[in-house]
Homo-oligomer: A and B are copies of this chain.
Amino acid sequence: MKSLTVKATATLLATVIGTGAAWSAESLQDVMKRRGLSQQDIMAAAKTYVPTGKRDEFLAFSSGGQSGQILVYGIPSMRILKYIGVFTPEPWQGYGYDEESKAVLKGGWIDGKEITWGDTHHPAISETQGQYDGQFLFINDKANPRLAVVDLRDFETKQIVVNPIYKSEHGGAFVTPDTEYVIEAAQYAAPLENKKFYPLEEFNEKYRGGVTYWKFDRQAGRIDPSKSFSLELPPYSQDLSDAGKGPSDGWSFTNSFCSERYVGGIEKGRPPYEAGCSAKDTDYLHVINWKKAAELVAQGKAKKINGHDVLMMDTAVKEGVLFLIPEPKSPHGVDVTPDGQFIIVSGKLDTHVSVYSFDKIQAAIKAGKFESKDPYGIPVIGMKETLHTQVQLGLGPLHTQFDAKKCVAYTSLYVDSQVAKWDFCEGKVLDKISVHYNIGHLMTMEGDSVDPKGRYLVALNKLSIDRFNPVGPLHPQNHQLIDIANDKMQLLYDMPLPLGEPHYVVAIEAAKLKPGVRYKVGTNSRTDEPHPGKVRAGEERVERDGNKLKVYGTLIRSHITPETIEAEVGDEVTIFLTNLERAQDETHGFTVSTYNVHASIEPGKTVSVKFKADKEGVYPYYCTEFCSALHLEMQGYLLVKPKGWKATTKEIAKAAYTETDYRATLKKVVDTQAVIDSVVGFITSTNYKDFPDVVNMVEDATDQLNKANDAKARHEAAAAKQDWEQANLWAEQVWQYQVKAADIGIRAKTYLEQNGAKKIK
C-alpha cells in the first residue's frame, strides 16, 4: 500500500473543498455524516457509481432461475439493463404474445404440450478459440430439459430445442472452445425412452443419465439437432460440465452426485434422498473424449433413441472415450483452468478443493492404469494418481473461477458463506472474504474463458435476510460485487435480484458486444428473414379470404394505419405490423382490447398478432409505448359486427371548422417553424457532425418534417376546394409532424449543450 504524497494530498483537499462549494449547500462530509457512510463506503461508491450517460465496463448475463428468463446487468454499477424472455412469455417484449415469438416458444413444447416457463441455470457466451466472442448466448432449462439460443445482436431468443432423451437437466449450457458444441448433462436419472415407465425397483438397470452435445451452426446462428448426439451414462445424477481447452481441448468433464444410486422414500420410513445420496465419500467425475465420440457417431456407432443419436455406454467404453475418476462427495462445480491443464472440483460436503492434472489423467489412460470398473464396466482412474493438489478451503466449497493473474482462483464456500482466493499451482489459500449469505456460484470477468479479465468478482448469494428493505416473505437474492484488483478482496456493492433466482452468471467486456439499434425494414426478428407480411408506407391493405381477415399495417409517430379494422363475428384476424421508424428507441407497441395479444415493434421490425374475433362489439387498439407527445392518440377501433349486419347510410359527424380555424392553424404552423428554425440554427452552428447520436437525431427530425409535405399538399388542396374541415385537420397534421421534429431537435440541442459541442460559426 502506498501513502499519498504531499502534492497529491493538497490536490485532493482542493478537490473535496471544491465539491462542497460548487455543488450544493452540503459538503461531502455533511453527506457522509447524514447518511452514516464510512470512508470505505465512499471508496466503494466511487468504484461502482456510473454517472449519467457513461457506460459500464462489463455486461453480465445471468440466469433467472425459476423465472425462465435471462437478465443482463452492468458491472460495476450493478444496474439491470434488460430481462430477456426465454422460456417464459413476457408481454413487454411481445414474447409469446405475437406470432413470431410464439413460433420460437413452440419449439420448446414437449409431447405437443405448451410449456410456459423454465428453470434456467447456466448461461454460456459463445467462444472463439476459448475467448468470449459476444455473438450468442445459450441457456438451459432444468425442469423441462431444453436449451435456448439468444442472439446478442438484438438480445432476442431465436431458438428453443427440447432434449429428446432426458426428463431433467441441470448441467447446461457449457460450450467447447470454438462453440462447436453446447454441452448439456442430465440430472435425475430416468428411462431414456420417451413416455416409458419402469418401476424404481429397476432403477439400476433401466434408469439412465447422460450428456448431450448440441451441434451449433454459427453461420445459421442455430443449433442443428440432426447433428447433435448424446452419451448414455449411468444413473448417477450428472451435474455440471466444463469443456477442456488448450492441451485438454477435445475432452469434457462432467461430475455427478448420488452415485450411490440411492432411492429415497421418507414417507415409507426410508431415509430421504439427502441421507442416502451423500453416504459415500466420493462420487464420479466423468471424463469424456467428445471429439472421438463425435467421430464414432459420424461412423454410425450410435443408437437411435427417440430419433436421436445416443452413443451407448458399452460402445463408449469399448472405444475408449469414457472414463471415471472418484471426486470428493457431492460435488457441484467442475472448472477447467484457463491454461487447460487442470480440472478443479469441489465436493460440497468435503472441505477441500481438488485440482486434477489433465496430463496425469492422460498418462493413466495411455498406460491403461485403472483402479477398477464401475458397475457398468466404465474404467475408473485412481484419484490420488491424477491429483495435482488438494487445498483445504472451508465448509461447503462449490464453484471456482479464475483471475487474470496466473494460478489465482476463487472458490465459493456455501456453509462458511465466504469466497476463498487461492493459488491452484502452489496449492495455498491467499485470502478470504465473508458474503451474505450462502453463496452458490461466483463469477469473475470472463472467468471461465482462456483469458480471464480479473478486476471484479460477483458472489451469487442465496439468502438475503438482513440485507435489504423487507418486501414480504419472498426475498430478493443478493449479488455482491467484490473488488479483486488488489491482494485483499473488498466488498463493493449489494445488488438485490428483483425477479427470479439466478444460479450462474457470465460477464463479458462491454466493448466486445456490438448490438444493433434497428432492423432492416420488414424483418422477422425471430428468423432474421424478410417478413412476408411487411409493407411500406402507402401499401397498407386488408385482405379477406373467407373468414380469414389479414391486415397489413404500419406504425409511425403517432398513428397506426389502418385506424379502423372491420370484422365479422367469427373471423380469424391476423394483423401484420411494420414499424416504419428509423430512429433509435422509437419502439411502438400494439394491442387490441381484451383479445390478449401484444407486440413490441422496434424500428424496422415486422410482427403479427392473430386472434379469433369471437365477440361482437367495439374494441379499441392502440400503441402501448409512450412514443411521442401524441401517443395516447395513436389509436384505432376493431369493429366486430354481427353476421349479416348492414351499414347505415349515416356519415361520420364532421367538425364545423371554418376558414378562420384553418388560418389560425396555419399561423401556429408558421410560429412553430420559427422555433424549429431557431433550434436548427443552434445545431448547425456547432460541430454536431462529430456526435453520431446527434446526427441520427437530425436525420430523424428531417424525416418528420419531410412527412409533413404530404399533409401540406392535402390541406392546400382542401383549402382550394373550401373544405375547411379537411383543410384545418391536415394543417393540424402538418403541425403534428412539426411538434415531433421540434421534440427531436430540442433533444439534440440538449445533448450538444451537455456534451461539450463547440461553436463553429
Q: Considering the chains assembled together, what is the distance between the CA atoms of A579 and B613 in angstroms? A: 44
Partner of A45, one of B49, B273, B589, B729: B49
Closest partner residue, chain B, to A653 (CB atom): B204
Q: Considering the chains assembled together, what is the distance between the CA atoms of A619 and B8 in angstroms? A: 66
CB of A348 within 8 Å of the partner chain = yes
Report yes or no: A470 in contact with B513, Cβ–Cβ below 8 A.
Answer: yes
Question: Which one of A1, A92, A490, A650 has the highest number of Cβ atoms from chain B below 10 Å of its Cβ?
Answer: A92
CB of A220 within 8 Å of the partner chain = no
Partner of A596, one of B115, B198, B558: B115
CB of A119 within 8 Å of the partner chain = yes
- A39 with B16: in contact, given A470-B517, A498-B82, A653-B203 (CB under 8 Å)? yes
Interface residues in A608-649 by Cβ distance below 8 A to B read: 615-620, 622, 624-627, 629-630, 632-637, 639-642, 645, 647-648
A selection of 22 A-B contacts at a CB cut-off of 8 Å is A2-B25, A15-B32, A16-B39, A23-B490, A24-B483, A35-B46, A41-B51, A42-B42, A64-B92, A81-B496, A90-B499, A97-B117, A154-B473, A258-B633, A271-B726, A272-B558, A273-B636, A332-B632, A395-B742, A437-B747, A473-B518, A474-B600
Report yes or no: A639 in contact with B199, Cβ–Cβ below 8 A.
Answer: yes
List chain B residues, Cβ under 8 A from A28.
Answer: 12, 42-43, 46
Closest partner residue, chain B, to A464 (CB atom): B585
Which of A320-328, A399-407, A410-418, A682-690 is the interface stretch?
A410-418
Report yes or no: B634 in contact with A273, Cβ–Cβ below 8 A.
Answer: yes
List chain B residues, Cβ under 8 A from A12.
Answer: 13, 16-17, 27-29
Interface residues in A743-757 by Cβ distance below 8 A to B read: 743, 746-747, 750-751, 754
Partner of A1, one of B24, B440, B747: B24
Q: Considering the chains assembled together, what is the distance between the CA atoms of A257 and B634 in angstroms? A: 12
Report yes or no: B593 in contact with A626, Cβ–Cβ below 8 A.
Answer: no
Report yes or no: B633 in contact with A274, Cβ–Cβ below 8 A.
Answer: yes
List chain B residues, Cβ under 8 A from A498.
Answer: 71-73, 80-83
Report the minimum CB–CB distance from A674 to chain B (whole Å).
13
Report the minimum CB–CB distance from A44 to chain B (whole Å).
7
- A620 with B190: in contact, given A13-B9, A743-B438 (CB under 8 Å)? yes
Q: Considering the chains assembled together, what is the distance between the CA atoms of A719 and B480 in angstroms? A: 46
Q: Considering the chains assembled together, what is the distance between the CA atoms of A277 and B655 in angstroms? A: 11
- A277 with B633: in contact, given A155-B472, A474-B155 (CB under 8 Å)? yes
CB of A181 within 8 Å of the partner chain = no
Q: Considering the chains assembled together, what is the distance between the CA atoms of A260 and B262 in angstroms? A: 75
Q: Considering the chains assembled together, what is the distance between the CA atoms of A39 and B26 in angstroms? A: 13
Report yes or no: A471 in contact with B155, Cβ–Cβ below 8 A.
Answer: yes
Report yes or no: B144 in contact with A593, Cβ–Cβ below 8 A.
Answer: yes
Report yes or no: B276 in contact with A732, Cβ–Cβ below 8 A.
Answer: yes
CB of A761 within 8 Å of the partner chain = no
- A349 with B739: in contact, given A46-B42, A594-B144 (CB under 8 Å)? yes
Question: Which one of A194, A462, A726 has the highest number of Cβ atoms from chain B below 10 Å of its Cβ?
Answer: A462
CB of A164 within 8 Å of the partner chain = no
- A48 with B49: in contact, given A261-B653, A498-B72 (CB under 8 Å)? yes
Report yes or no: A416 in contact with B746, Cβ–Cβ below 8 A.
Answer: yes
Report the minimum CB–CB distance from A588 to chain B (whole Å).
11
Partner of A747, one of B119, B168, B191, B417: B417
Q: What is the size category of the interface that chain A forms with chain B? A: 35 or more
CB of A446 within 8 Å of the partner chain = no
Which of A222-230, A288-296, A560-568 is the interface stretch?
A560-568
Report yes or no: A558 in contact with B82, Cβ–Cβ below 8 A.
Answer: no
Which of A53-61, A122-130, A363-371, A570-578 is the interface stretch?
A53-61
Report yes or no: B72 in contact with A617, Cβ–Cβ below 8 A.
Answer: no
CB of A37 within 8 Å of the partner chain = yes
CB of A660 within 8 Å of the partner chain = no
- A494 with B23: in contact, given A92-B500, A111-B594, A657-B279 (CB under 8 Å)? no
Report yes or no: B618 in contact with A279, Cβ–Cβ below 8 A.
Answer: no
Report yes or no: B272 in contact with A733, Cβ–Cβ below 8 A.
Answer: yes
Q: Considering the chains assembled together, what is the distance between the CA atoms of A119 and B155 in angstroms? A: 23
Q: Considering the chains assembled together, what is the distance between the CA atoms of A330 and B349 in angstroms? A: 66
Report the minimum CB–CB distance from A443 to chain B (whole Å).
15
Report the minimum CB–CB distance from A614 to chain B (whole Å).
9
CB of A357 within 8 Å of the partner chain = no
Report yes or no: B510 in contact with A83, Cβ–Cβ below 8 A.
Answer: no
Report the minimum CB–CB distance from A700 to chain B (whole Å).
10
- A642 with B746: in contact, given A47-B35, A274-B558, A436-B53 (CB under 8 Å)? no
Report yes or no: A746 in contact with B593, Cβ–Cβ below 8 A.
Answer: no
Partner of A190, one of B38, B53, B440, B618: B618
List chain B residues, Cβ under 8 A from A391.
Answer: none
Report the minimum CB–CB distance from A240 to chain B (whole Å).
11
List chain B residues, Cβ under 8 A from A474.
Answer: 82, 93, 154-155, 587, 600, 602
Partner of A67, one of B91, B188, B416, B736: B91
CB of A540 within 8 Å of the partner chain = yes
List chain B residues, Cβ under 8 A from A246.
Answer: none
CB of A545 within 8 Å of the partner chain = no
Report yes or no: B476 in contact with A82, Cβ–Cβ below 8 A.
Answer: yes
Report the minimum CB–CB distance from A192 to chain B (whole Å).
10
CB of A207 within 8 Å of the partner chain = yes
Partner of A111, one of B437, B615, B665: B615
CB of A265 within 8 Å of the partner chain = yes
Report yes or no: A271 in contact with B729, Cβ–Cβ below 8 A.
Answer: yes
- A91 with B117: in contact, given A8-B27, A31-B46, A462-B626 (CB under 8 Å)? yes
CB of A245 within 8 Å of the partner chain = no
* 4 interchain residue pairs of minimum CB distance: A45-B49, A473-B602, A188-B620, A91-B117
Q: Considering the chains assembled together, what is the distance between the CA atoms of A271 and B657 in angstroms? A: 14
Report yes or no: B35 in contact with A19, Cβ–Cβ below 8 A.
Answer: no
CB of A387 within 8 Å of the partner chain = no
Report yes or no: B24 in contact with A486, Cβ–Cβ below 8 A.
Answer: yes
List chain B residues, Cβ under 8 A from A15.
Answer: 29, 32, 39
Q: Considering the chains assembled together, what is the distance between the CA atoms of A594 and B144 in angstroms? A: 5
Partner of A191, one of B4, B195, B617: B617
Report yes or no: A438 in contact with B143, Cβ–Cβ below 8 A.
Answer: no
Report yes or no: A467 in contact with B40, Cβ–Cβ below 8 A.
Answer: no
CB of A390 within 8 Å of the partner chain = no
List chain B residues, Cβ under 8 A from A156.
Answer: 472
Q: Considering the chains assembled together, what is the distance between the CA atoms of A32 and B501 in angstroms? A: 34
List chain B residues, Cβ under 8 A from A472.
Answer: 82, 153-156, 515-517, 602
List chain B residues, Cβ under 8 A from A299.
Answer: none
